[in-house]
Amino acid sequence: MQRIVIFGATSGIAEATAREFAKTGASFFLVGRNAQALGDIAADLKVRGAASVETRSGDLSLLDTLPTLCQEALSSLGGIDVALIAHGTLPAQQTSTWNARNTLEFLQENVSSQVALMSELRLIMMAQGRGTLVILSSVAGDRGRPSNYIYGSAKSLLSTLGEGMALELAPLGIKVLVVKPGFVDTKMTAAFKKGALWASASDVGTLIFSAIRSGKSGVLYAPRFWQLIMLIIKFAPSFLVRRM
């Protein structure tokens, strides 16, 4: 039985991943903003086979609360086998109205919180001598583009930090997986026009579950064809990227 803590458990991808683990009889500690949504997810996971589900609602941008929250998860589960950091927002970046305050508030919620959790969970897993830390990043962090460079810069930092931690912790038997989804159909992207490159949250959750179970560490593009797409975009000339 695996013991799993999820930060941002109400996100579509996190919920889909949790459902896969529930089928194996895992135990969960779920954290998110919306207490009602967390309760609904907990009930669903129990129906699907979860051994136990405990929830905590709160604002993950309050950095001083995060060490205590990690210790509560550790105590509740009796150890952490898998930790998934999946919370964040997707801003409507408009250069005419976006200002310094917007940027700093966004970074507090989408970088500072995640980095603090990564640091705390790293120490917990080093003390355990095992565990898998999963960070939900994005292909948007692979290259700056005019339409979403603020969001992309946040994801780029998380990706670089996670990739470095994966190399650092591998000799200790600790896995760090940086997940880079492409376009995913979730509540957060409900207003976006969908196309052939879009994946379902369920598909991405299944890929994450399989990667964790296989012991993968490093980077996971989800779906995997985004690795080739982003390789092309990385080396594309600026006049083409400017139109994206």
CA-nearest of 138, 162, 139 to 231 is 139
The distance of Cα 112 from the centroid of its chain, to the nearest Å, equals 14
| Domain ranges for the chain | 3-241
CA-nearest of 91, 98, 80, 101 to 31 is 80
pLDDT tens for each residue of 101-132: 888 888 888 999 999 999 999 999 999 999 99
The distance of Cα 220 from the centroid of its chain, to the nearest Å, equals 12
Sign of the four-CA dihedral 155, 161, 163, 165: negative
Is pLDDT at 96 greater than 60 in this prediction? no
Name the fold adopted by 3-241.
Rossmann fold (3.40.50)
Tokens at 228, concatenated: 């080739």
Answer yes or no: pTM beyond 0.75.
Answer: yes
